[in-house]
């Protein structure tokens, strides 16, 4: 495996771990606000991002690459509102999509077919991730300042578990 591909994958492992940590911070924020449904939704996202990083971790090992783990920044712990959380979450997913696209372009340029094939799953997954977070954001926008609507959404979001997702 070429060193630039290995570097990009290691960077993406860090990105996925960082995304997980950001969702964990969001989950703690919601717990502190007694919005346990949103908290559990964010915790499911946390687990999903960890699973993404592990796919890349295993891929590097399978290709005899070297795993190099880097520092993970402390996540934001305070937010203005549920709306604010989902705005940050959508931006993060959009940034992650860009990062995966860049990795895909690099693998294509280097004619690394195995990496292209492995990354295809991530390309498809990001479509789902952006769609899910966008839909959540739209519902929270619609709820606005209506406390009953927010509590209803909190209950609905709480029905989702990590088992529902990949
Ligand atoms: Mg991810």
Domain count, the chain: 1
Cα 91 to ligand 1 centroid, rounded to whole Å? 13
Cα 52 to ligand 1 centroid, rounded to whole Å? 5
Cα 70 to ligand 1 centroid, rounded to whole Å? 17
Tell whether the model's pLDDT for residue 166 goes beyond 60.
no
Cα 149 to ligand 1 centroid, rounded to whole Å? 29
Cα 64 to ligand 1 centroid, rounded to whole Å? 23
Q: Closest Cα to residue 145, out of 91, 80, 70, 53?
A: 80
Tell whether the model's pLDDT for residue 104 goes beyond 70.
yes
Tell whether the model's pLDDT for residue 144 goes beyond 90.
yes
4-62 pLDDT tens trace: 999 999 999 999 999 999 999 999 999 999 999 999 999 999 999 999 999 999 999 99
Cα 133 to ligand 1 centroid, rounded to whole Å? 12
Range of the domain at 15: 3-165
21-34 pLDDT tens trace: 999 999 999 999 99
Q: Are 123 and 101 in contact (CB under 8 A)?
A: yes
Give the CATH number of the domain where residue 63 resides: 1.20.1260.10
Can you list the pairs that 155-161 forms with residues at least 24 positions away whose Cβ atoms lie under 8 Å?
155/37, 156/37, 157/37, 157/38, 157/40, 157/41, 158/36, 158/37, 158/38, 158/40, 158/41, 159/37, 160/40, 160/41, 160/44, 161/40, 161/44
Cα 19 to ligand 1 centroid, rounded to whole Å? 7
Cα 101 to ligand 1 centroid, rounded to whole Å? 13
């Amino acid at each position: 495996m070429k060193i630039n591909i290995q570097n990009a994958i290691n960077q993406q492992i860090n990105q996925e771990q960082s995304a997980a940590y950001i969702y964990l911070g969001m989950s703690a924020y919601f717990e502190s606000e007694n919005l346990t449904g949103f908290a559990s939704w964010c915790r499911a996202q946390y687990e999903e991002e960890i699973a993404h990083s592990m796919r890349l971790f295993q891929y590097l090992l399978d290709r005899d690459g070297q795993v190099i783990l880097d520092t993970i920044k402390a996540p934001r712990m305070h937010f203005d509102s549920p709306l604010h959380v989902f705005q940050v979450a959508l931006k993060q997913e959009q940034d992650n999509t860009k990062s995966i696209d860049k990795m895909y372009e690099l693998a294509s340029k280097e004619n690394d077919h195995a990496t292209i094939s492995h990354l295809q799953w991530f390309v498809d997954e990001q479509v789902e991730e952006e769609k899910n977070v966008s839909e959540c954001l739209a519902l929270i926008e619609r709820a606005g300042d209506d406390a009953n609507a927010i509590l209803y959404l909190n209950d609905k979001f709480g029905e989702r578990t990590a088992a529902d997702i990949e």
